[in-house]
């Protein structure tokens, strides 16, 4: 079963801004939160206008901060 979830752009922007305060090194790469349909459920992840270097520290933590922040704001299970 495929599931499609719309992302609230206002909440996504708020979650991104909060995470960028802690991880400002990602601001120049223009990240945005997206939701991908999986075979069962959905996955939230970040896409970048320009891909950050692979060795840039904190990428995983930054993505987790955005996703968890968005889920909290949207009232979704974290």
Helix axes 9-22, 59-74, angle to 10 degrees: 140
2 within a domain of the structure (yes/no): no
65 within a domain of the structure (yes/no): yes
Tens of pLDDT along 7-54?
999 999 999 999 999 999 999 999 999 999 998 889 999 999 999 998
The dihedral sign for the CA sequence 58, 60, 65, 66: positive
- Number of domains into which the chain is organized: 1
Q: What is the pLDDT of residue 41?
A: 87
39 within a domain of the structure (yes/no): yes
26 within a domain of the structure (yes/no): yes
Query: Is the confidence at residue 4, as pLDDT, over 60?
Result: no
pTM for the full model? 0.89
14 within a domain of the structure (yes/no): yes
């Amino acid at each position: 079963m495929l599931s499609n979830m719309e992302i609230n752009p206002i909440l996504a922007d708020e979650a991104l801004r909060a995470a960028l305060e802690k991880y400002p090194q990602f601001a120049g790469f223009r990240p945005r939160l997206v939701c991908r349909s999986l075979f069962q459920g959905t996955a939230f992840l970040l896409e970048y206008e320009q891909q950050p270097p692979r060795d840039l520290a904190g990428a995983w933590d930054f993505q987790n901060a955005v996703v968890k922040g968005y889920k909290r704001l949207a009232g979704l299970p974290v």
